[in-house]
Structure 1
Amino acid sequence: MENSEVRADFLKDLPPVEFCCAYGSALLGNHDKNTMVDYILGVSDPIKWHSENLELNRDHYASWMVHLGGAKMITLVADKVGVGVHFNPFVNWNNRMIKYGVVRSHNLVQDLLHWKHFYLSGRLQKPVNIHVDTLDIANLNLVNLKAATSAALLLLPPEFSEEQLYAKICGLSYMGDVRMLFAEDKNKVNKIVRGQFHLFHTMYRPLLEEYAAKDLLRFPFTGGHLGNIIQVYSDLSSFLQLIWS
């Protein structure tokens, strides 16, 4: 079964959601059944959603959460201890391994627009595959992508490659993450960008062309890819236009 079919079918076994995206290695078309398929799910009322899901899929949850407080405990821990997202990892479904995180839709929107926790916003700065979107998250995420692009440009030298830009954008969400000092692969960011380069290119090229049209960036096209990108700041107003455009 292809990953796209896995994603579509898996949602049928959950309560309805307002938003769903898949991310990670599943986007690369890996058909290895040992590869985990990752989701972010946006729901209007997490307590209600988890209550319904506990009736359908109690085995998805850690037993201590179920016994100590059920849906209220699950939501409380996500909101007060974490960043508003409850993850059910290592869910065995149809001989596939699934991981899904559930977030209140309002919190998802706030993180995209204001970088409140910079967790989901960081996740959606990287390629994702959206399957359900009743909230117009794809459009709202443009604010997030523009902010990430502007932040990355401030951290880059006057001239850089397209791959360096995407690596800087991808690395924003890992800044300050202590896991990168110990547990995580030091080359994780570069591996993500190289493995999904065409997806990053599709996501960010319209924004780069927009900046180029404002004469804030200059770059040639070489075989469908951008050549080295040059930042152009003729004055303070141009610099501010980049930040706030």
Structure 2
Amino acid sequence: MIDCIIGVSDPEKWHSENLKMNRNHYASWLVHFGGARLIAGVADDIGVGVHFNPFVSLNDKMYKYGVVRMDDLINDILGWQRFYLCGRLQKPVNIIMDSLDLENLNHINLRAATSAALLLLPSKFTEEDLYAKICSLSYMGDLRMLFAEDKNKAGVHLFLWLSWRSGLCPPPFLKFSKFLKKCQRTMPKAPPSKVKKIVQGQFSLFHRMYNPFLEEYAAKDLLRLSSSGDAQVTISQDCGSSAASKLVSSLPPPIRSQMGIKLGEKKILDELGRVKQEVVIGSKEEAAQCMQKLLRNKVMISSARQAVAGLLTVGVFGGARYVSKKMQKAWKS
């Protein structure tokens, strides 16, 4: 099943329009008792701001499309507020329409993901190891890993439709589908489920996404890159507390603030002479453990909330079908 995310300025308005054309995509109780307002309310108040409609068939392919408010998407990208959609955007995606230039905005998310993965990796590793670690960030603490999820899963194919202009409502799914048809011709093949195989299957895409940050960190003497005879890049990193502090400085401000509460903060002067707070880093291991615990808690809460919202929004029969699919995938893995 191919995942699609549709970013809109007003989810309630979008669902209202989509219900006119695709009423059968939604659970009957949602449509009957509250319609678009209830659909958006369940996503915001119970879930993590995303409403998903799974099992939508189009051109012999199965889709699961989610609708999210652009404000929520941006907050997750820049601040790892939920660590939900930002985690999906740390993997290769196909952007269909981007009126906000979110692709460039996502560079902040990718740089932070690179830093987070480096904190969790040893002094020497391969480029493939780095991408696998990045893939695994958004699954730390995921409750689905406990019972009904492919435990080797580390990525999905994701399409994005993003619209921000005031008053503009992206078209309902049937109109939106023509963009999917165009992308199906160039969509990479679905990768195997195991982390290593996913990275290997999309290695060039990961390299294109993250190589600029590897070069940036190498220029700052945080990394050393070397190629062996088989063209596999080996990476060595400085594991000192000073290097770890620089990695932490690239994490989203809310994560740094939470780490500061746990590890302590100190005041320093930046390059412009302004006073700012910096997390006290005793060691790389200490920083890594603190960050990992914070991310695990975020993912655990988000996955629990989204699981409850998902069961409500797909209805009893849809929920049973979805869980059955997850159980089959988990059994095979």
TM-score interval w.r.t. the shorter chain?
0.7 to 0.9
Q: For 1:183 and 1:128, locate their aligned partners in 2 and report how far apart those are by CA, in whole Å.
A: 24
Stretch moving more, 220-229 or 167-176: 220-229
Q: Does 1:204 align with 2:169?
A: no
Query: Which has the higher relative contact order, 1 or 2, with Cα contacts under 8 A spaced 6 or more apart?
Result: 2
Offset of residue 114 of structure 1: 0.3
Offset of residue 202 of structure 1: 1.2
Stretch moving more, 181-190 or 165-174: 181-190
Partner in structure 1 of residue 144 of structure 2:
179
Larger radius of gyration: 2
Q: Does 1:213 align with 2:178?
A: no
Offset of residue 225 of structure 1: 5.2
Offset of residue 239 of structure 1: 3.2
- 1:67-105 CA deviation, whole Å, 9 max, x = no partner? 110000100000011110000111122433221010000
C-alpha change, 1:225 and 1:181, in structure 2 (3 Å) is: farther
Contact map agreement 1:163 1:193 (CA 8 A) in 2: yes
Consecutive unaligned residues in structure 2, runs of 5 or more = 155-194, 251-333
Q: Does 1:67 align with 2:73?
A: no
Q: For 2:95 and 2:42, locate their aligned partners in 1 and report how far apart those are by CA, in whole Å.
A: 26
Q: Secondary structure at the match of 1:212?
A: helix
Q: Does 1:102 align with 2:67?
A: yes
Instruction: Tell me how many residue pairs correspond in the alignment.
Output: 209
Q: For 2:241 and 2:140, locate their aligned partners in 1 and report how far apart those are by CA, in whole Å.
A: 29
Letter in 2 for 1:242: L
Contact map agreement 1:84 1:104 (CA 8 A) in 2: yes
Partner in structure 1 of residue 248 of structure 2:
243
Q: Does 1:166 align with 2:131?
A: yes
TM-score normalised by structure 2 residue count: 0.60
Q: For 2:88 and 2:55, locate their aligned partners in 1 and report how far apart those are by CA, in whole Å.
A: 19
Q: Secondary structure at the match of 2:13?
A: helix
Consecutive unaligned residues in structure 1, runs of 5 or more = 1-35
Partner in structure 2 of residue 126 of structure 1:
91
Letter in 1 for 2:244: F
- Identity across matched positions, percent: 66
Contact map agreement 1:219 1:226 (CA 8 A) in 2: no
C-alpha change, 1:120 and 1:158, in structure 2 (3 Å) is: same
Task: Show the 5 A alignment for 1:26-175.
Answer: 36-175=1-140
